Amino acid sequence: MDDYEGEGLFDDEEGNENEGFELTSGGKERVIYLVDCHPHMFLRTNDEEEDAKTFFDAAMEAIASDLKNKIISQASDETGLCFFNTREKKNVHGWDGIYIFQECDVPSAQRIEEVSKISRDFEASIGARKQAQAATINPVYHALFTAQSMMQSASKLGVKRVLIFTNNDDPLAEVSAAEQRSMRNQTIAKARDMVDSNISIELLPMSRPGEEFDIRLLYKDVMSEGEEDDPSNFIVSAQAKFEDMLSTVRKKMLKKRVQRKMTLAIAPGVEVGMNLYALIRTTRPSRAGTLDSRTQQPLKVETKFICGDTGGELDKHTIQKFYPYGADKVVFKQDELQEMRKLRDPGLQLLGFKPVACLKPYHNLSPPGFLYPSDEKISGSIKAFIALHTAMVKFQKFAVCSHVPSIRSNVKLVALVAQEQVVDESGAQLEPAGFQLIPLPFSNDIRDPVKHHASEAGLAPRASQEQIDRAADLLKKIDLGNTFSVVQIANPALQKHYASLQALALDEDTIPEVEDCTLPDEEGITRPVVTKAVNAFKESVYGPDWEEAEAAAATQQAQPSEAAKKRKAAADLAASQQGAFNWKELAEKGQLNTLKNEELKTYLRANALQVGGSKNALIERILKHMGY
Amino acid sequence: MGSRSKDTTVILLDVSTSMHPHLQETIRCLQGYLQQKFLSASGQKDEVGLVLFGCDYTDNDLNEQMGGYEGVIVANPIQPVNLNFVKQLDTLPKGDGTADFLDAVVVGLGLLIERAGDKKLAGKKRLWLLTNLESPVKEPAEGTIEEQAATIAGTMVEKEIRLEVTRIHFKQEVQTSTSIQNEILLRRFVGETHGQIQTVSSALALSGTLATATPAKAPTTTYRGPLEVTPNLKINIWCYKKTVEAKLPSLKGYSDRAPASDPTAQHEMERITAYKSTADPDREVPPAEHTKAYRYGPQFIPVDQHVEEGLKFRADKGVKVIGFTHSKHVPRHLFMKDSNVFIAEPTNETAAVSFSALVRAMHQTHRVAILRCVYRANQGSVALSVGTPCPAEEDHLPDSLIVNQLPFAEDVREYPFLALADQPESKQPSLEQMDLAEQLVQKLDLAPAAGEELLAPEATPNPTLERFYNFLHKRAVEPEAALPPITPTARAVIEPPPRLLEAATPLIEDFQTKFSLTVAAIEDKPSKRFWRDRHAGQDEAPGQLDNGASTSGTAADPISLDDLAARKVDEVGTVNPVQDFNSMIARTDDPNLIPKAIKGMKDVIDNLVTQAYQGNTYDQALECLRALRRGCILQSEPLEFNSYLREIAARSKGKRQHDFWERLVKNQLTLINRDEEPDSDVLPEEAQKFLTEAEAKPPSAVEEPEKDEEVDEMAELLDMAE
């Protein structure tokens, strides 16, 4: 709508959200992947399977997948990739066995490709450390040191993580006992130093089926996850982390932020402070922008406003607006319109309470907001919020409020519904406790189309209780069960968009097929029990001869519609009528215009031509058809 | 959108003495109703007549011909609505006596019959009676009132004319025996003509009723086809919109450049969009050289139309049941958009029965249907929806399913929040406080009795729309008219009902005292507490740092902690804002401090600028702005600064604080560019240009311009409402 930078064309939804929001947790994530290249890593993950991949391949696959996720979800995050226990070396310190493959930077198609391809020619270019090569370095220590220096330039804010991929639980096994001890201490000291600098160190241990990765040998003291005291728990969570990285569901990650700080006014001066969050918002694919096809650089859009009468340029901020009122133009200034919409100051004003039954399923226009109390602005707010919340739950009531989100928005009525906390069996929070803010429609927004289908006979067709019971039997057979959660279904259009973009960017040969999780479970709903229930239901509605009735209905469907019949009849009639004239003679003598339109149309209908238009158009069409 | 045939309405308005208290509001609402008629394309075809009854004089043809219809005036014959008609309502005559609504019905009926002439009038025809029914109907010369009414009703049925009654009866008013008798008479009338009686009990409801009285546009279906319960059970349904947000109309740009003397001036504005090369800003790139592209990380991926078509997700048209589930599994707050409603295909008896059985079975077993909806062929997306059963309450209406869209996994952000019960003991309300809250919830009751609901969405019109049309009307009549004041109906939406509030005032005062709700005097508990906790934490758990397992803030760099100990700054004060700001951003112990410092600094600058007297504080404001800029670069928060600077530009440039803007330009304080901080949203040359042009808005608010669409500020702002 405005003059804006070329870059702006590519700004996506997240950018939109930044506007007017306050950051509560800042910064981007920086991740260094440290990948062990000890010969063990080039063993197959599973000896039983001929084509099983090596541990190294598995690590690279996970990293590539993680990068693909990041480029969609957190494109400003930076990552770096460093190998340790390598034959070749590449690092500023000149240490043996340390090879920085990618410096810390934002993910890009090229970097993803490099990671995906490294497995192929790794041995030639970098290579694993030979058993015989003397251990001149303390591998994990030097790797950690390098990782830290790779992040050095990074800003103090944000999350910093080091992810270690290895299948070797005892990296110091090959050195002498004395050296082992000092190296171990050196490594642990470094790890603590890093943890003190807010760098978290995470381990992704890989082990073969049946073999256990013993974190007690070294890694327990290196990792920063203090809570994982039980090694078996730890392996489970590491496994989950691995799967997360390999996840193909691309999802934009948004940081938790307060969308708006606001107060709920009970009466003038009696206010409760709270924060508004957007927990549910439609995610759309990033918007397309426009490039200069010659330079492949983004184009800058400039918009000018020109006076239609004089051709002079108008200043955007002072342009007046008009609305046609009959033949007149009613003119408003921008600030008058601003003033017009300002019915009250931003915030929430409590109007009263209603039983939850008053909130109908169709009282909806847009996604909800979520309110959580805050004492920051008004002390006592949390207490008052909890008290109101509890009372509303107890009486099964919701609050009706008048809501003005910001000075630029119109007043709306909203329902505040007390949401109680919901947790799953493991104690994870499914729904937080607070108020759901549901914008309500006004009378202008509600339609009543059902009324237009009021039965003229006085009684609308209704199912009998017997038919309802059959339907209920059927419902039971297609129940989604108690574990069903609606918010776990991925949007197939969005996933397809991301997958296609990735394939284009990485020059992949095939577009990965995206599973459409919204399709019904075909197998499940064609099971005999379901079919049986369906048939019983049909019998109750159509009677015992439902199969014939259905076939009859199908034939009827095949019958031409009323409109089609009408057209057919008109054409038949026209065919007989057109014989009343000698068209060729009329046309040759230029006398077609002596006929009436209806008479001309008989020719057109009989010849399946269009019958619309002026008399001249009709005549022209006839002449054209006759070949003149 | 099928075109609707025109509707014909004759308004019968009671202007007798007992109606006087309601007349002003009623007329204002009627004006809104008429206005919508001639402002909307479909409404322009409609024709409306106006009959007043209960007047002091008489002016109608029937009376002249036959006599006996005194006090009835045909104020406006049946015709399309025009401005004069709307204006005329401002000066309607009133009467000082009683009013006979039956007379008015007969006169109105006469008008309709006369308008039709010997043809049959197409479209809907109705008489719309607005009265409080407080005047008795006089006995006819022959027969009884009932007989007379029956004759009239017979004619109406024959001519397919409906009678709709809006009965104004405010709650505090006593119901008289006259009005009860009249109501009984009317009920019969309405029953025979398939009309309806609506009683409005408040000014707000009146205006709500009239707002929706605009003949609903012939509803159009958004889908007609099978609802596939299983592959071998398909029920034909129709889908309609149930709610659609009515937005302010779009306004076009008006140019006053043409000289006032020029009678041919159109005063319209054109919008010209040019695509300029970034390398050479003077070169305009023709559309033939444009390539559509998507961003992938730092890269742009060009996608031409063919490629894009090939890559698009395609779904086949249809509505399928994924399964049924207990309604408790689909919480109300998951509804994403406006609502749809499904009904069985009309005139298809078996579909109607099957659908009715399904809806009622769902209702009886508390189930909802999870649906996969693709309403149009070749649609590029699918909607995941929930169908909630809605068995009809009236016998003549079909059963329906209300269908709401649900979020996908990508749409849900799972942020953890502390359970309210886990808030510290000091934040938990006492029993006494709990009791107070319960009393408040019970006292401020908007639905005190069954069927009695204040502020029901169905009866509450949008005050902004109402105000706009009101303003529009005033301006049309009088071009210099000022913004009309906020009407009582708008007040009802923005303020608690006065009677409720009054009754609850002592309770609310008590609430305030007992909860000691006080605006915190820029007090900052979190960081102070953090400071205390930090030491306490170290004392209590000395081993914590040693096990190297902590990534929390307690493991901050000791050097900066020493700095902090010297000066525990956690807010930007007005005395030394730059120093405060710098100390705050230097701290690493609490990431919340950075945003807080930035926010605090902005507030200080805003204050300095707005409170300036002849620019006396501008120097300080500029110094602060410079510090903020530096800080935002250091902390990689360029967007924070840039959006703020744009804000300043928007509110000062060409406005009251233009002098501040000039100072800013002179000091070359511009946007943070990408060379200074890679996260920035602007290139260096753009940052420079910002000062000279300062037209830039945050890029996020930008859309690809649509070619034929005028700037629609109103709708745009509306869209931003959330």
Contact A23, A257 (CB under 8 A): yes
Q: Report how far apart, in Å, the C-alpha atoms of B425 and of each of A372, A420, B420 are.
A: 17, 19, 11
CA A50 from chain center: how many Å?
39
Pick from B362, B417, B549: CB nearest A475: B362
Interface with chain B: mutation pick from A112, A222, A256, A362, highest number of B CBs within 10 Å = A362
Mean pLDDT of B454-458: 90
ipTM above 0.95, yes or no: no
Burial class (CB in 10 A: 0-12, 13-18, 19+), B131: buried
Residue B696 confidence (pLDDT) above 50: no
For A572-583, write each residue's pLDDT tens digit: 777 777 777 888
What does the pLDDT read at residue A247?
A: 62
Domains of chain B with bracketed CATH: 8-213 (3.40.50.410), 220-256+267-415 (2.40.290.10), 560-719 (1.25.40.240)
Pick from A9, A365, A467: CB nearest B338: A365
* Least confident span in A257-261, A272-276, B18-22: A257-261
Q: Tell me how far apart the 2 most distant CA atoms of chain B are, in Å.
A: 107
CA nearest B301 in A: which residue? A505
What does the pLDDT read at residue B79?
A: 86
* Structure tokens belonging to residue B338: 């406006």
Residues 86-105 of B with CB under 8 A from A: none
Pick from A17, A325, A383: CB nearest B429: A383
What are the DSSP calls for A151-186, one per residue? TTTS-SSSEEEEEEEES-S-TTTTS-HHHHHHHHHH
CB contact under 8 A, B333 and A417: yes
What does the pLDDT read at residue A209?
A: 66
Contact A304, B272 (CB under 8 A): yes
CB contact under 8 A, A319 and B255: yes
Contact B487, B466 (CB under 8 A): yes
Residues 538-597 of B with CB under 8 A from A: 545-551, 555-557, 588, 591-592, 594-595
Residues of B with Cβ-Cβ distance to A251 under 8 angstroms: 409-410
Residue B206 to residue B22: CA distance in whole angstroms: 10
For B255-282, write each residue's pLDDT tens digit: 887 777 777 777 888 888 888 887 787 8
CB contact under 8 A, B229 and A478: yes
Q: Report how far apart, in Å, the C-alpha atoms of B422 and of each of A395, B419, B427, B428 are.
A: 22, 5, 9, 9
B293 in helix, strand or coil?
strand
User: Of A226-235, A396-405, A585-594, B653-662, which one has max mean pLDDT?
Assistant: A396-405
Domains of chain A with bracketed CATH: 27-246 (3.40.50.410), 260-341 (4.10.970.10), 355-449 (2.40.290.10), 465-479+488-557 (1.10.1600.10), 562-626 (no CATH)
What is chain B's alpha carbon radius of gyration, rounded to the nearest angstrom? 34
Interface with chain A: mutation pick from B198, B200, B207, B301, highest number of A CBs within 10 Å = B301
B601 in helix, strand or coil?
helix
Q: Provide the H-helix boundaries in B12-171.
A: 20-39, 61-66, 83-88, 101-116, 145-158
CA angle, B105 as apex, B99 and B109 as ends, to 5°? 150
Query: Angle at which helices B658-666 and B618-634 pack, to 10 degrees?
Result: 60
Pick from B269, B281, B354: CB nearest A305: B269
Q: In the A/B pair of chains, how many CB contacts fall below 8 A?
A: 825
Helices vs. strands in chain B: H and E counts, helices first: 22, 18
Residues of B with Cβ-Cβ distance to A344 under 8 angstroms: 494
A329: enclosing H helix or E strand: strand A328-332
Residues of B with Cβ-Cβ distance to A321 under 8 angstroms: 251-254, 713
Pick from B208, B357, B427: CB nearest A463: B357
Q: From start to end of B516-620, where are the E strands?
A: 518-519
For B654-665, write each residue's pLDDT tens digit: 777 888 888 888
Contact B20, B61 (CB under 8 A): no
CA-based nearest distance A14→chain B, Å: 8
CB contact under 8 A, A1 and B703: yes
Mean pLDDT of A544-563: 67
Q: Which residue has the higher pLDDT, A232 or A580?
A: A580
What does the pLDDT read at residue B218?
A: 59
Q: Provide the H-helix boundaries in B312-395.
A: 349-364
Mean pLDDT of B117-143: 79
Residue B361 confidence (pLDDT) above 90: yes
* Least confident span in A228-232, A285-289, A524-528, B41-45: A228-232
CA-based nearest distance B136→chain A, Å: 32
CA nearest A396 in B: which residue? B441
Amino acid at B103: D
Amino acid at B514: K
CB contact under 8 A, B517 and A286: no
Contact A418, A438 (CB under 8 A): no
Mean pLDDT of A235-248: 64
pLDDT above 90 covers what percent of chain A?
Answer: 21
What does the pLDDT read at residue A21?
A: 29
**DSSP secondary structure code for residue B59 in this structure:** B
Residue B610 to residue B629: CA distance in whole angstroms: 20
Residues of A with Cβ-Cβ distance to B641 under 8 angstroms: none
* Structure tokens belonging to residue A353: 């309470």
Residues of A with Cβ-Cβ distance to B356 under 8 angstroms: 460-463, 467
Contacts of B12 (CB under 8 A, 6+ apart): B51, B53, B101, B104, B105, B107, B108, B127, B128, B129, B130, B131
* Least confident span in A238-252, A410-424, B23-37: A238-252
What does the pLDDT read at residue B436?
A: 94
B654/A contact by beta carbon, under 8 A:
yes
CB contact under 8 A, B519 and A521: no
Residues of B with Cβ-Cβ distance to A6 under 8 angstroms: 278, 683
Residue B447 to residue A357: CA distance in whole angstroms: 11
Residues of B with Cβ-Cβ distance to A27 under 8 angstroms: 591, 636
B1/A contact by beta carbon, under 8 A:
no
CA nearest B270 in A: which residue? A306
Contacts of B481 (CB under 8 A, 6+ apart): B471, B474, B475
Token pair 């009671």: residue: B14
Query: Angle at which helices B349-364 and A465-477 pack, to 10 degrees?
Result: 70
Residue B534 to residue B540: CA distance in whole angstroms: 10
* Least confident span in B3-12, B322-331, B668-677: B3-12
What does the pLDDT read at residue B353?
A: 94
Contact B225, B211 (CB under 8 A): no
Q: Residue B155 — pLDDT band, cuts 50, 70, 90?
A: confident
CB contact under 8 A, B251 and A541: no
Pick from B370, B388, B494: CB nearest A361: B388
CB contact under 8 A, A192 and B277: no
For A46-85, write each residue's pLDDT tens digit: 777 677 788 898 889 888 888 888 887 777 788 999 999 9
* Structure tokens belonging to residue A493: 């259009």
Residue A440 to residue A442: CA distance in whole angstroms: 7
Residues of B with Cβ-Cβ distance to A364 under 8 angstroms: 243, 335, 337-339, 404
Pick from A8, A256, A355: CB nearest B447: A355
* Structure tokens belonging to residue B241: 């919109």
Q: Which residue has the higher pLDDT, B607 or B119?
A: B607
Mean pLDDT of B414-443: 91
CB contact under 8 A, B409 and A249: yes
What does the pLDDT read at residue A597?
A: 82
CB contact under 8 A, A340 and B445: no
User: Of A2-6, A72-76, A329-333, A563-567, which one has max mean pLDDT?
Assistant: A329-333
CA-based nearest distance A409→chain B, Å: 5
B521/A contact by beta carbon, under 8 A:
no
CB contact under 8 A, A441 and B243: yes
For B199-228, write each residue's pLDDT tens digit: 777 666 666 666 555 444 557 889 999 999
CA-based nearest distance B66→chain A, Å: 37
CB contact under 8 A, A553 and B350: yes
Residues of B with Cβ-Cβ distance to A520 under 8 angstroms: 228, 320-323, 372
CB contact under 8 A, B323 and A479: yes
Residue A566 to residue A313: CA distance in whole angstroms: 57
Residue A318 confidence (pLDDT) above 70: yes
CB contact under 8 A, A278 and B243: no
CB contact under 8 A, A375 and B427: yes
Residue A5 confidence (pLDDT) above 50: no
For B291-319, write each residue's pLDDT tens digit: 888 888 778 888 877 777 777 888 889 99
* Structure tokens belonging to residue B445: 């009751």
Q: Provide the H-helix boundaries in A312-363.
A: 334-341
CA nearest A458 in B: which residue? B396
* Structure tokens belonging to residue A254: 């948004």
Q: Report how far apart, in Å, the C-alpha atoms of B660 and of each of A394, B8, B621, B698 are.
A: 55, 60, 9, 21
- Closest C-alpha to B596, from A262, A376, A255: A376
Burial class (CB in 10 A: 0-12, 13-18, 19+), B129: buried
Residue A25 confidence (pLDDT) above 60: no
CA-based nearest distance A36→chain B, Å: 23
Interface with chain A: mutation pick from B212, B309, B411, highest number of A CBs within 10 Å = B411
Residue A497 to residue B722: CA distance in whole angstroms: 26
Q: Provide the H-helix boundaries in A25-173.
A: 55-73, 109-125, 139-150
Residue B23 confidence (pLDDT) above 70: yes
CB contact under 8 A, A352 and B476: no
